[in-house]
């Protein structure tokens, strides 16, 4: 799945992924930038096995992003968590 062109699904309803990343001090745009960065490899989360990336934002913060694949055709993913790491 080419993450540069995948649809990233954001749900603005209370308690969903937009609220979750906001509670961790991030915006959907910041999360999108790490997901779409082709220089950051996709890995598997140690705890869940889900796809994830650890990338650096323009301001220097490093963030960890985990998502689930919603659809392969058309390609769509749903970020389930994102937070700053040290």
Which tens digits make up the pLDDT trace of 29-77? 999 999 999 999 999 999 999 999 999 999 999 999 999 999 988 899 9
Model confidence at 86, in pLDDT bands (50, 70, 90)? confident
Which tens digits make up the pLDDT trace of 1-24? 788 889 999 999 999 999 999 999
* pLDDT for 2: 82
In SS3 terms, 23-63 reads as HCCCCHHHHHHHHHCCCCCCEECCCCCCEEEEEECCCCCEE
Q: Which pTM was predicted? A: 0.93
Q: Which two tokens stand for residue 20?
A: 């979750």
């Amino acid at each position: 799945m080419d993450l540069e062109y995948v649809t990233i699904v954001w749900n603005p309803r209370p308690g969903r992924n937009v609220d979750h990343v906001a509670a961790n001090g991030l915006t959907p745009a910041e999360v999108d930038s790490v997901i779409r960065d082709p220089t950051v490899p996709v890995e598997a989360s140690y705890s869940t096995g889900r796809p994830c990336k650890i990338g650096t934002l323009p301001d220097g913060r490093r963030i960890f992003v985990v998502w689930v694949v919603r659809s392969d055709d058309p390609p769509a993913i749903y970020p389930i968590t994102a937070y700053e790491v040290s």
